[in-house]
């Protein structure tokens, strides 16, 4: 939905802004925070709510300084390796245990794995970056030079160490494609540089000429030279550009900025044109991988204000506005593709604080006020807005909608939401899950999209990226091809509406069509597969609680493909005619459309722990993988026609 339209979506209001009312900074020079920014930050710091943010940052800086401050001598690895391979849970980071990594589910330390040790170094760099960010805002908010000194001292240490690191990838092999030095990939290198350069620029005024030269020649310039050699696409290159723009501003080098902004293949503008749909969504098909590059784009926009370059255009604002229409009633998102479960608007308040500070658009303030019903206003970016934010009361629930380019339809009735996914595959972060659905009852997903685990754990490729791990149909035990479906019809109504989509190339010779109708608390789901040849159709629903079969099942194992081995305690029974299943959240009546079907249930890896960097309401980043309980309806023949009726409680 373009921000140039006037639309009311529940409590979200988009005001027409065809000419963006944004005034570029009149100051000339190279900086990240204008004089007006500094005034706003100090004014906010003197408010009751702002002083809480400042005191929290002071405590975090104090806590960081209670540990060893030296920068690691060894290069870092890959953060996705810092997870227990059994429970998919992030290890608990401990400063004094670089070679021992505690899993709270195993209740033991994992030792002797270098990939874990290298990932521990990543955690140190991440903690150090947070320290630099906190010191940056504390110096701006208080004027206390001690925080600038802290920045100087840490960056000097990095400047001495950085030249000693060798370029390497996550396997500690040097490649020209994606190697880093601090980290095992240039992606992380650029993320770190995007904020470290801001810290340097703020603290530079208290440094000597020798200290400035050392930081610039030891870290800033070499990092820029590394990133200039990393040419690619997607969210990686967006972050490369963000790092380069920040480094270019910090080094006062417009040549670096120009390449990152205007390169015809890899520049900011080229990537915006290539990867951002007209409906405002990033083309990797996941809320997680929408906000990830969006933050890089906004950091680029912030950095270039000092050069009188305005990147806060309608396309960037559409990227902020569109996701607000795709949330569940609790402001969380479906975990589509390689999306972390639990991703929500709550995790993105810092971006919306910046957007509101630059645009004063009521939509962004409205989003913030909705979020602050669930979480406290704690981000440093809130200091840009020296105004209090009200907490919205009882929400007006959104209307049914669809995103034509993303290929996702959303049906709503009050707090009930049903989502149908049919669009483009999503590239390297896509999942083979065309015509999959998820259902949210206002409090939680009762039929979830599981999203992804950490990339370094076995279940990532053996389960979460398989068609069978989604609420759709798997044919002949194989994954769907990476294809795009097509919307057949979308008919919204005040009680929900209908959305129908089809795909005819996910499986060779098989045409698949799904029609979902929500009418208040009643959901009708019709799934049809047709072919001129006989196939084995597995219609899958992934429940979050154990199921009782309509009759006693016998234990069995399906050996059609290795993915079925991920389902434990599998039972099978033969069912003739329609049957009903009861859960705590719904009554589900299933009409198989044939005389006899095979019915399977079991236990499989379910909702994984959330990335520790994602803010959630239920602290799902601190628990191990939850089980899910697949219901597989197996139909053999040329055609499958299953109708499922849900009475949602």
* DSSP secondary structure string for all residues of 54-101: HHHHHHHHHHHTTS--SPPSSPP--GGGSB-TTT-PBPBP-TT-TTEE
What percent of the chain lies above the pLDDT cut of 90? 84
Q: Where are the beta strands (DSSP E) in 381-477?
A: 401-403, 408-413, 416-421, 436-440, 445-447, 473-475
- Same structural domain for residues 262 and 409? no
Report the candidate in 62, 123, 122 with the shortest Cα–Cα distance to residue 94: 123
Q: What is the CATH number of the domain that holds 134?
A: 1.50.10.100
- Confidence at 67, pLDDT banded by 50, 70, 90: very high
Query: Is 202 within a domain?
Result: yes
Query: Is 409 within a domain?
Result: yes
Task: For residues 391 and 184, give the distance between their C-alpha atoms in angstroms, rounded to a whole number.
Answer: 42
Task: Answer yes or no: is pLDDT of 28 > 90.
Answer: no
**DSSP conformation class of 344:** B
The pLDDT, as a whole number, for residue 391 is: 76
- Confidence at 88, pLDDT banded by 50, 70, 90: confident
Task: Answer yes or no: is pLDDT of 517 > 80.
Answer: yes
Task: For residues 88 and 67, give the distance between their C-alpha atoms in angstroms, rounded to a whole number.
Answer: 28
Query: Is 492 within a domain?
Result: yes
Q: Which domain holds residue 552?
A: 401-648
pLDDT in tens, 593-619: 998 999 999 999 999 887 766 656 555
The pLDDT, as a whole number, for residue 613 is: 64
Task: For residues 116 and 330, give the distance between their C-alpha atoms in angstroms, rounded to a whole number.
Answer: 35
Tokens (6 digits) for 455: 């990339």
The pLDDT, as a whole number, for residue 397 is: 83
The pLDDT, as a whole number, for residue 110 is: 97
Question: Which of 153-157, 177-181, 400-404 bottoms out in mean pLDDT, i.e. has the lowest?
Answer: 177-181
Task: Answer yes or no: is pLDDT of 33 > 70.
Answer: yes
Q: Which residue has the higher pLDDT, 42 or 552?
A: 42
pLDDT in tens, 303-357: 999 999 999 999 999 999 999 999 999 999 999 999 999 899 999 999 999 999 9
Last residue of a domain, one of 275, 302, 322: 275
Last residue of a domain, one of 242, 275, 308: 275
Q: What distance separates the 2 farthest-apart alpha carbons in the chain?
A: 84
CB 439 within 8 A of CB 410: no
Global pTM value: 0.93
The pLDDT, as a whole number, for residue 175 is: 82
Q: Which residue has the higher pLDDT, 616 or 225?
A: 225
Q: What is the CATH number of the domain that holds 532?
A: 2.70.98.70
Q: Which residue has the higher pLDDT, 76 or 397?
A: 76
Task: For residues 1 and 422, give the distance between their C-alpha atoms in angstroms, rounded to a whole number.
Answer: 18
Query: Is 353 within a domain?
Result: no
Query: Is 42 within a domain?
Result: no
pLDDT in tens, 454-493: 898 899 999 999 999 999 999 999 999 999 999 999 999 9
User: With b meaning 16 or more CB within 10 Å and e meaning fewer, what string describes 300-323?
Assistant: bbbbbbbbeeebbebbbbbbbbbb
**Structurally, how many domains does the chain consist of?**
2
Report the candidate in 321, 587, 310, 609 with the shortest Cα–Cα distance to residue 451: 609
pLDDT in tens, 418-453: 999 999 998 999 999 999 999 999 999 999 999 998
- Same structural domain for residues 270 and 405? no
Stretch 236-254: mean pLDDT, rounded? 98
Query: Is 596 within a domain?
Result: yes
Query: Is 375 within a domain?
Result: no
Stretch 246-262: mean pLDDT, rounded? 98
pLDDT in tens, 523-536: 999 999 999 999 99
Cα 303 to its chain centre, rounded Å, is 23
Stretch 205-213: mean pLDDT, rounded? 98
Task: For residues 444 and 325, give the distance between their C-alpha atoms in angstroms, rounded to a whole number.
Answer: 18
Query: Is 305 within a domain?
Result: no
What percent of the chain lies above the pLDDT cut of 70? 93
**Helix ranges, 204-253 (H):** 209-215, 221-228, 234-251
The pLDDT, as a whole number, for residue 17 is: 37
The pLDDT, as a whole number, for residue 610 is: 74
Task: Answer yes or no: is pLDDT of 580 > 70.
Answer: yes
Tokens (6 digits) for 577: 């005619």
Task: Answer yes or no: is pLDDT of 116 > 50.
Answer: yes
- Across the beta sheet with 401-403, the strand order is 401-403, 408-413, 416-421, 436-440, 445-447
Report the candidate in 541, 503, 327 with the shortest Cα–Cα distance to residue 415: 327
- Same structural domain for residues 123 and 257? yes
Question: Which of 59-63, 214-218, 371-375 bottoms out in mean pLDDT, i.e. has the lowest?
Answer: 371-375
Last residue of a domain, one of 258, 275, 292: 275
């Amino acid at each position: 939905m373009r921000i140039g339209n006037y639309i009311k979506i529940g409590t979200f209001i988009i005001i027409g802004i065809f000419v963006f009312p944004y005034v570029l900074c009149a100051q000339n020079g190279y900086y990240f925070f204008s004089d007006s920014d500094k005034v706003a930050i100090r004014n906010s710091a003197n408010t009751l709510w702002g002083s809480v943010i400042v005191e929290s940052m002071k405590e975090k800086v104090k806590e960081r300084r209670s540990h060893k401050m030296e920068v690691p001598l060894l290069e870092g690895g890959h953060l996705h390796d810092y997870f227990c391979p059994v429970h998919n849970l992030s290890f608990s980071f401990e400063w004094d245990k670089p070679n021992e990594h505690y899993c709270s589910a195993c209740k033991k330390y994992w030792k002797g794995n270098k990939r874990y040790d290298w990932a521990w170094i990543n955690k140190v760099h991440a903690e150090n970056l947070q320290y630099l960010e906190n010191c940056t805002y504390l110096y701006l908010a208080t004027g206390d030079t001690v925080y600038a000194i802290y920045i100087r001292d840490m960056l000097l240490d990095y400047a001495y160490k950085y030249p000693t690191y060798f370029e390497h990838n996550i396997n500690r092999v040097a490649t020209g494609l994606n190697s880093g030095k601090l980290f095992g990939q240039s992606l992380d290198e650029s993320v770190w540089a995007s904020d470290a350069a801001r810290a340097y620029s703020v603290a530079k005024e208290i440094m000597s000429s020798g200290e400035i030269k050392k930081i610039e020649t030891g870290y800033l310039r070499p990092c820029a030279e590394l990133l200039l050699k990393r040419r690619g696409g997607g969210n990686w290159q967006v972050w490369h550009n963000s790092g380069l723009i920040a480094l270019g501003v910090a080094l006062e080098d417009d040549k670096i900025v120009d390449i990152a902004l205007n390169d015809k293949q890899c520049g900011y503008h080229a990537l915006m044109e290539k990867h951002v749909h007209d409906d405002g969504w990033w083309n990797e098909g996941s809320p997680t991988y929408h906000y990830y590059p969006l933050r890089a784009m906004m950091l680029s926009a912030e950095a270039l204000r000092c050069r009188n370059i305005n990147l806060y255009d309608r396309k960037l604002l559409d990227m902020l506005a569109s996701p607000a229409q795709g949330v569940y009633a609790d402001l969380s998102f479906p975990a589509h593709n390689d999306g972390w479960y639990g991703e929500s608007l709550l995790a993105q308040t810092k971006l919306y604080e910046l957007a509101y500070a630059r645009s004063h658009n009521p939509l962004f303030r409205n989003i913030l006020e909705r979020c602050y019903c669930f979480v406290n206003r704690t981000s440093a970016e809130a200091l840009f807005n020296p105004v209090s934010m009200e907490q919205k009361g009882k929400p007006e629930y959104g209307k049914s909608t669809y995103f034509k380019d993303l290929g996702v339809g959303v049906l709503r009735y009050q707090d009930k939401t049903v989502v149908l996914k049919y669009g483009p595959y999503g590239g390297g972060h896509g999942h083979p899950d065309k015509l999959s659905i998820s259902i949210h009852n206002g409090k939680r997903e009762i039929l979830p999209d599981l999203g992804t685990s950490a990339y370094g754990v076995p279940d990532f490729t053996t389960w979460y990226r398989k068609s069978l791990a989604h609420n759709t149909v798997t044919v002949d035990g194989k994954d769907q091809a990476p294809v795009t479906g097509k919307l057949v019809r979308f008919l919204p109504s005040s009680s929900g509406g209908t959305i129908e989509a089809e795909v005819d190339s996910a499986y060779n010779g098989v045409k698949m069509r799904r029609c979902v109708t929500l009418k208040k608390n009643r959901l009708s789901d019709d799934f049809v597969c047709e072919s001129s040849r006989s196939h084995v159709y597995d219609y899958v629903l992934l429940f979050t609680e154990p199921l009782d079969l309509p009759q006693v099942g016998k234990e069995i194992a399906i050996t059609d493909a290795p993915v079925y081995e991920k389902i434990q305690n599998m039972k099978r029974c033969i069912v003739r005619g329609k049957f009903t299943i009861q859960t705590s959240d719904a009554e589900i009546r299933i009409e198989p459309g044939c005389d006899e079907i095979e019915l399977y249930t079991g236990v499989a890896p379910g909702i994984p722990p959330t990335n520790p960097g994602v803010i959630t309401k239920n602290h799902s980043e601190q628990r191990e993988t939850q089980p899910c309980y697949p219901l597989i309806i197996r139909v053999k023949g040329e055609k499958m026609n299953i109708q499922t009726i849900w009475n949602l409680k």
